[in-house]
Chains A and B, each alone.
Chain A
Amino acid sequence: MRYVSALIALVAATAVQGARAIELKFAPPDFETEYAMPYLFTPAPAGSNTWWESLILFAALSLTTYMVFKARSRRGLFAISVFSLLFFGFYRKGCICPVGSTQNVMAAVFLPDVGVSWVVVSFFVMPLLFSLFFGRVFCASVCPLGAIQELVAIAPIRINPALERVLGLGKYMYLGLATLGVATGAGFLICRWDPFVGLYRMGHSYNMLIAGALMLLVGVFIARPYCRFLCPYGVLLGWMSRFSKFHLEIPPSPCVECRLCEDSCPYNAIDMPTPRHLVEDPAVGKKRTRLLVFLAPVFILLGAVGGYLFHEPLSHIHPTVSLSERIAKEDRGIIKGEVYLESDTFRKESKTAATLHAEALAVTEKFKTGSALFGAFLALIISIKLIELSVVKKRTIFEPHKETCFSCGRCYPYCPVEEGA
């Protein structure tokens, strides 16, 4: 009797689900003995991303702020870095971190039926708020990606500031690309290309593990390569930090311009007093700046056009597009022989190649606007950077650049000015 009702339930359920029809090849038994069917073991979620993790993040940020401002202790910051590496990195497997949370928040903003938990929102908001008041204390020793790089930066060399600026554009590109990825449904690129998460999890794809190892190796000499040239969240933190009320200062009391800290920052984040030869006739400077401001809209338009022209290759970050391309190539006999699970699976399904190509086309369509905006965004950033360069501010002391300084405290021990001296 039991199985009849089970069958009825089954039929009803399959009808509702409309998915795979389950045909029972063997009738479920009608037990004669007292036999109770075991329950399925379906435990509730273990509660990852729970509120206490927000609390730990808050505590770590506060402690870092204390170390940066009150204790002025590089050692203390180092110790917090080790904690963050162990807790946010190894224990929490680097997930979810504020860097990646950017995408969850963007997804909730852009996509109609995507939600986000408030813990994740708090992970996104808290470091930014701290940045708005105290500078990038999050980067100093709380970020799991930053911590590992800070710890391996043993023999940092300084690179040419001009090169630093050019490479630094990478993070804006990454931010734009990540936004494009979320908005078009291509996925979370920041997570897909996270170089260190493989290490924290002792697993991950080969390519990413190799990328992570390489990045750490480079990071021994060129400190924090990910933070300086790639981190998309770092862009937002930098913007906030620019307006920070309090920001780390190298000398605890007035700078005596001894130049001792000049080479202390491995991140090129110390602004020097303006060299004599750069002090120019203000009229010339103003003229150049005005020209740059005037040209900016043209430049942005060009960026948009350029982005638009690139929408086709860009759309390949979307899995549907890349699969469709792969299938088309296989059909035309350009690729043969190799087994490729995605296309293999596709061929077992009932979907036709034409449907897939149509879907891919629809996705590519979305990339048109997206890529144009992406191009315009990059051009806007480059224009702003150029205008900034053109305005020569007279500076008389050594001070950290609010936007790029990670508040790491490496420069503290170099400064001979004692408090109150």
Chain B
Amino acid sequence: MSERKKLDRRDFMRGAAAVAFTGATWAAVGEKTETKYWQLDPAKCTQCGRCTTHCVLTPSAVKCLNQFDICGYCDLCFGYLQPGSRNLDTGAENQLCPTAAIERKYIEAPYYEYKIHEDKCIGCAKCVKACLVFGNGSFYLQIRQDICINCNECSIAKSCPSDCFSEVPESNPYMFLTGDTHLAHPPA
């Protein structure tokens, strides 16, 4: 009988412990539940190149994007052309991008559109650096959220020397250079 009672009490304690533990965890964090995603701040990025090598994914989840509304559409795009190229054409030997991820398209004299093919881009930031030094700085890196697996602690975040990475809310998972995001989403 007393054995029985002891068991009952133990069971009760165990149940209470389970409820208390779950409850306490929930009380501690419940209000803060929000899904966060990693993103890098292009304003801080120093184009060190680690985004290519330090993402757990190969190729990296970090891609370059061109913010068209600040792009100069220049004929002589430094982000596109290898310095010292003889001809301003689309020959592979003239391209700065190691994977030829940037497409150059004639729009109207003297403007060209530079579109980045994200499937080819490895996030090396070479074009970003050049565009920043000689051009408008419309190329910059972002984590592509549909590729990123949202690691517990982003491995680039830990190794980025400029401390660019932070967690952003699901509702606003990109950081644009200008804060002017009207071109970020097609109108619904």
* Residues of A that sit less than 8 Å from B by CB: 6, 9-10, 13-14, 16-17, 19-20, 22, 24-29, 31-33, 35, 37-46, 48-49, 92-93, 95-97, 100-101, 103-105, 108-109, 114-119, 121, 124-125, 128-129, 132-133, 187-188, 191-192, 197, 201-204, 243, 245, 319, 341-342, 344-346, 348-349
Q: Which residues of A contact B134 (CB under 8 A)?
A: 25
| Residues of the B chain whose Cβ atoms lie less than 8 Å from the Cβ of A349 | 162
Q: Please tell me if B1 contacts chain A, counting CB pairs below 8 Å.
A: no
- Judging by beta carbons under 8 Å apart, are A345 and B162 in contact? yes
Judging by beta carbons under 8 Å apart, are A203 and B58 in contact?
yes
Best-surrounded residue of B107, B155, B158, B173 (most CB of chain A within 10 A): B155
Tell yes or no: B9 within 8 A of A by CB. Answer: no
Distance A42 CA – B37 CA, assembled complex (angstroms)? 13
A interface, over-half SS: loop
CB-CB under 8 A from B55, the residues of chain A are 203
Given contacts A25-B134, A187-B153, A345-B161, contact A33 B68 (CB under 8 A): no
Given the interface contacts A45-B170, A48-B149, does A348 sit within 8 Å of B46 by beta carbon?
A: yes
Q: List B contacts of A132 (CB < 8 A).
A: 14, 17-18, 21
Q: Which residue of the partner chain, among A27, A42, A49, contacts B142 with CB atoms under 8 Å? A: A42
Among the listed A43, A103, A109, which residue makes an inter-chain contact with B29, where contact means beta carbons less than 8 Å apart?
A: A109
Specify which chain A residues have a CB less than 8 angstroms from the CB of B37 in the assembled complex.
Answer: 45
From B44, B73, B155, B170, give the contact of A29 (CB < 8 A): B73
B residues whose Cβ falls under 8 Å from a Cβ of A: 10-11, 14, 17-18, 21-22, 25-26, 28-30, 32-37, 41, 43-44, 46, 48, 50, 55-58, 65-74, 107-108, 111, 113, 115, 118, 134-137, 142, 144-153, 155, 158, 161-162, 170, 173-174, 176-180, 183-186
30 example contacts (A-B, Cβ-Cβ < 8 A) are as follows A6-B69, A10-B178, A16-B179, A24-B70, A25-B72, A29-B111, A31-B107, A33-B107, A35-B108, A40-B66, A40-B176, A40-B183, A41-B65, A42-B65, A42-B142, A44-B146, A45-B148, A46-B145, A48-B149, A49-B150, A100-B152, A100-B153, A115-B33, A117-B36, A118-B30, A191-B152, A203-B55, A203-B56, A344-B161, A349-B162
Rank and list the top 7 A-B pairs by shortest CB-CB distance, nearest first. A26-B72, A19-B43, A345-B161, A13-B179, A115-B32, A108-B29, A43-B146
Chain B: CB-nearest residue to A93: B149
How far apart are A34's CB and chain B's nearest CB, in angstroms?
10
Known: A28-B72, A43-B146, A192-B153. A108 touches B28 (CB 8 A): yes
Assembly CA distance A245 to B11 (angstroms)? 7
A202 to chain B, nearest CB (A): 7
Give complex CA distance A115, B48 in Å. 29
B33 touches A22 (CB 8 A): no
A48-B158 in contact (CB<8A): no
Chain B residues contacting A42 (CB-CB under 8 Å) are 65, 142, 145, 173-174, 184-185
Contacts known (A16-B179, A22-B70); A117 close to B35, Cβ less than 8 A: yes
